[in-house]
Amino acid sequence: MPKVLISDKMDPKAAQVFRERGVEVDVITGQTPEELAAIIADYDGLAVRSSTKATPELIEAATNLKVIGRAGIGVDNINIPAASAKGVVVMNTPFGNSITTAEHAIAMMFALARQIPQADSSTQQGKWEKSKFMGVELTGKTLGLIGAGNIGSIVAERALGIRMKVIAYDPFLTPDRAVELGIEKVTLDELLGRADFITLHTPLTDQTRNILSKEALAKTRKGVRIINCARGGLIDEAALKEALESGHVAGAALDVFAEEPAKENPLFGAPNLICTPHLGASTGEAQVNVAVQVAEQMADYLVDGGVTNALNMPSLSAEQAPKLKPYMALATQLGTLIGQLESENIKGISVEVEGAAAELDQKPITAAVLAGLMQAYSQTVNMVNAPFLAKDRGLDVREIRHEREGDYHTLVRVTVSTNDGEKSLAGTLLGNEQARLVEIFGIKMEANLDGNMLYVVNQDEPGFIGRLGSTLGEANVNIGTFHLGRRGNRAGGEAVLLLSVDSAVDEPVLWKVCQLPGVKSVKALRF
């Protein structure tokens, strides 16, 4: 039975979901890094919020760990490269608190427009400074979204509902999606020059860090108001303070800061500034949603192999998993075969699918090919770390999809680029379940890839099969199945043999086979 540790405070429904799905769960919170490292080896899964730090040291100690789930969006507390290298899936719950975060951004925009926090403080101090707090209407104003993904699109919908005009800068926003949302897609400079309000809804990456820099803030129209409920670090805080003090920026509402907890910050005390302590996801509904979702996602992976909202491997829903499972088995076998035959010589790899395979999500199939291939280079490899290992080796990986159906109703082809040119092999599924090799290096051959096998390339001539059988028999190696293919299907040319054998063939026996007349190459295989 899989076992999961919940190491941060989380709604009790998360543990309930795990137990209902047949996953053993322990809830142990408040551990020091050393205490957590001492017990983590017992668990297949780790469910966290923001307190637990999944450092390289913790991941190294987690010898059985298969998945880390973050109840929330941000994964700054999880070292994804270390997890990927160890083959650990990292997943988050990007949709569980979307509405809550979007509503907080809208609330901050209203508070900023009408100076509600300042007016409240003044009034409760016994002042009646009605003329001091002259606000602005939102109706008819232009809202500029930096990021129009899940949360940004909800903010856009709410803003349109209060009759604002919405423009958005998002490189991933398609024209069709912009029309669907009822917003206008613009460049960043256009947004800066047109927006009355700017709100940010983008992750913190190398491309988005300080996206509102001193130079960017200088391009905004005088009197702009800025809201950030996304990530600290998207705004140059020193530049924002300067813009607030000069009056160029009329106000700012921040829920996130470059360093948190923000008990000290250069912005504190700046005029027309509203701050909240990272409350974007802080509603009862959101806390329940993300806890339940992370438990469901982790249970899907540990029980059924489904992968949802993973950050370091292709997603594979619990519904997709049964259909893709035989394809992934075939892909792994093809990758394992090409890796054992050509591991010293591979510079690039392409994975092609056609027929029924082309109707499926190709990314898990490609990841499975790489998982098989990279076994030639690493003893600890799976679908999570295989793409990273391939990248580290400088392998160029391509995916090709053919809508046509060829000789087989479904086909997966793996082609590697080598110093000797391209080499290709292909496989299909019999009855949509049984993996079957159908081509190897241009030679038609049908074979099951399983257990111990022997690969022999030889000159096709009478008597060779008998001599090979005698050599293996003298070495007490029993042949299970025998598969033969000839290049061009012509006698006297090059032939390929794939034999399944009941035990591994050791080096002395391989040497004897190599000495047989007509043998060009011999390789012992293991699946």
Residue (of 36, 56, 48) closest to 74 by Cα position: 48
Q: What is the Cα–Cα distance from 393 to 378, expressed in whole angstroms? A: 11
Q: What one-character-per-residue DSSP string does 17-69 give?
A: HHHHTT-EEEE--S--HHHHHHHGGG-SEEEE-SSS-B-HHHHHH-TT--EEE
The answer to whether 460 and 443 are in contact (CB under 8 A) is: no
**Number of CB atoms found within 10 A of residue 163's CB:** 11
The answer to whether 310 and 294 are in contact (CB under 8 A) is: no
The pair of structure tokens assigned to 62 is 């987690």
Q: What is the Cα–Cα distance from 187 to 201, expressed in whole angstroms? A: 16
Write out the catalytic residue numbers.
231, 260, 278
DSSP β-bridge partners for residue 458: 495, 519
Order of all β-strands in the sheet with 224-228: 184-185, 165-169, 142-146, 197-200, 224-228, 249-254, 273-275
Q: How far apart are the first and last CA of the chain?
A: 26
Q: What are phi and psi of 22, to 5 degrees?
A: 80, 25
The pair of structure tokens assigned to 100 is 């809550």
